[in-house]
Structure 1
Amino acid sequence: MRVHVADHPLVTHKLTVLRDRTTPSPTFRALAEELVTLLAYEATREVRVEPVEIETPVAKTTGLAISDPKPLIVPILRAGLGMLEGMVRLIPSAEVGFLGMVRNEDTLEPAIYAERLPKDLSNRQCFVLDPMLATGGSLLAAIEYLFDRGAVGVTAVCLLAAPEGLAAVEAATKDRDVTIVLGALDEKLNEVGYIVPGLGDAGDRLYGTLPAE
């Protein structure tokens, strides 16, 4: 498994604003999209391409185009939806699928409750969008599901990760072509499975569903 933690002042700046509890949902959503686009540059470093001949206004030349089958972007519902536009902005020719996952708050174990994916993922490069790599359970379940359907490589784009979750995914995917791209690697998980210092519940903050204080 390969891990890339972004090291760029714009990434750090946007994460700082996202972490701030006073940042309103509209600003949070806009910054999340912008941040994903920055992370997507690194996430797509190994996207498959093929040579194509084109003609410029001056001369013929050979360039590169994204190969078929096109990459598949898979946001994990619901919070991953807030990252989708930022990724599609960079690779608009990609196809989009969806995985709906829910976490049992007592056991912290994930379960897939819905999926909308192409029937055949053979030879596909997949890009999973999941804001928070906390325990690693949801992301690992998504990765295994995609490989079971025929994917040849999975790259996960996460805003934040905890060391515990990253280690869990690495231990379970040693023989897989897996890359994790992070905005930041945080300190730890707390006793209820939230990333510290983190930014809270990404879904609640994206969609303004924070519980009343």
Structure 2
Amino acid sequence: MNDNIFILDHPLIQHKITMMRVRSTGTNEFRRLTDEVAILMGYEALRDLPLKNIDIETPLQKCSAPVLAGKKLAIVPILRAGLGMVNGLLSLVPSAKVGHIGLYRDHITHEPHEYYCKLPDSIEERTIVVLDPMLATGGSACTAIDFIKQQGGKHIKFMAIIAAPEGLKKLADAHPDIQIYCGHLDECLNDECYICPGLGDAGDRIFGTI
């Protein structure tokens, strides 16, 4: 497998994803689980954030200690389902800037179409984490990352709670320079390009619009 692909097999991530899959899991519980999985995945995805040392004074003495360096982090959810993962990342890095990319998928062609793109300033200097709970065909993820690169983004990571093999391959082939983090790699896409076994429409389940 590509060295930039990370399937996160932590027991807590796997347990919480299973609870998300259950048909009877309600909106409030689904949101909470999405938030918790995003935190656990973010802990792994952000382990290589750059650091610098600053001088501080503890209650006992002065010392040099590490803090996050540079322009830090940009979190970019793909609307709308990606919004459900934002708070998890912000709980880890509250100073992160948040951009948004709006895409919708044509129900006939399954191709993504852009309707909104707003990124934080100095995007070329930031580590960028693109969020979408589901990596299905890979079309939306590839398009979103194309937009980011067009605006100067260089240091890009992509986080999906569940991925289909087809979408994971498409994204990795189109953008071999980015790191891809997945909570679970599922079996396949069905004829309507939904991930199986999946968990249904993540956006509908997060926002209660089923």
TM-aligned CA deviation for residue 123 of structure 1: 2.1
TM-aligned CA deviation for residue 57 of structure 1: 1.0
Matched residues, number:
208
TM-aligned CA deviation for residue 120 of structure 1: 3.9
Structure 1 residue aligned with 2:64? 62
**Distance (Å, rounded) in 1 between the aligned partners of 2:140 and 2:190:** 17
Structure 2 residue aligned with 1:193? 193
**Distance (Å, rounded) in 2 between the aligned partners of 1:208 and 1:6:** 27
For the Cα contact (< 8 Å) 1:190–1:196, is it kept in 2?
Answer: yes
Structure 2 residue aligned with 1:34? 36
Q: How does 1:23-172 map to 2 (within 5 A)?
A: 23-172=25-174
For the Cα contact (< 8 Å) 1:74–1:96, is it kept in 2?
Answer: yes
Listed one character per residue, the Cα deviations across residues 130-179 of structure 1 (whole Å, up to 9, x for unaligned) are: 000000010111111111111121111111000000000111113x3x11
TM-aligned CA deviation for residue 119 of structure 1: 4.7
Partner AA of 1:83 in structure 2: M
Q: Does the C-alpha gap of structure 1 residues 94 and 119 become closer, same or farther in structure 2, counting only changes over 3 Å?
A: closer
**Distance (Å, rounded) in 2 between the aligned partners of 1:111 and 1:47:** 32
- What TM-score comes out, normalization by structure 2 length? 0.95
Structure 2 residue aligned with 1:21? 23
**Distance (Å, rounded) in 2 between the aligned partners of 1:95 and 1:205:** 26
1:202 aligns with 2:202: yes
**Distance (Å, rounded) in 1 between the aligned partners of 2:158 and 2:124:** 18
**Distance (Å, rounded) in 2 between the aligned partners of 1:185 and 1:52:** 40
**Distance (Å, rounded) in 1 between the aligned partners of 2:17 and 2:120:** 33
Identity across aligned pairs (percent)? Answer: 45
**Distance (Å, rounded) in 1 between the aligned partners of 2:125 and 2:115:** 25
Listed one character per residue, the Cα deviations across residues 157-213 of structure 1 (whole Å, up to 9, x for unaligned) are: 111000000000111113x3x111111011111111111110010001111111xxx
**Distance (Å, rounded) in 2 between the aligned partners of 1:171 and 1:194:** 20
Partner AA of 1:208 in structure 2: G
**Distance (Å, rounded) in 2 between the aligned partners of 1:46 and 1:157:** 15
Listed one character per residue, the Cα deviations across residues 41-69 of structure 1 (whole Å, up to 9, x for unaligned) are: 01101212212121111122222111221
**Distance (Å, rounded) in 1 between the aligned partners of 2:40 and 2:144:** 23
**Distance (Å, rounded) in 2 between the aligned partners of 1:181 and 1:150:** 22
Partner AA of 1:193 in structure 2: C
Structure 2 residue aligned with 1:180? 180
**Distance (Å, rounded) in 2 between the aligned partners of 1:48 and 1:209:** 39
**Distance (Å, rounded) in 1 between the aligned partners of 2:50 and 2:112:** 31
What SS class does the counterpart of residue 6 from structure 2 fall into?
A: strand
CA RMSD in angstroms comes to: 1.2
1:9 aligns with 2:8: no
For the Cα contact (< 8 Å) 1:134–1:165, is it kept in 2?
Answer: yes
Gapped regions of structure 1 (runs ≥ 5): none
Partner AA of 1:50 in structure 2: K
TM-aligned CA deviation for residue 118 of structure 1: 2.7
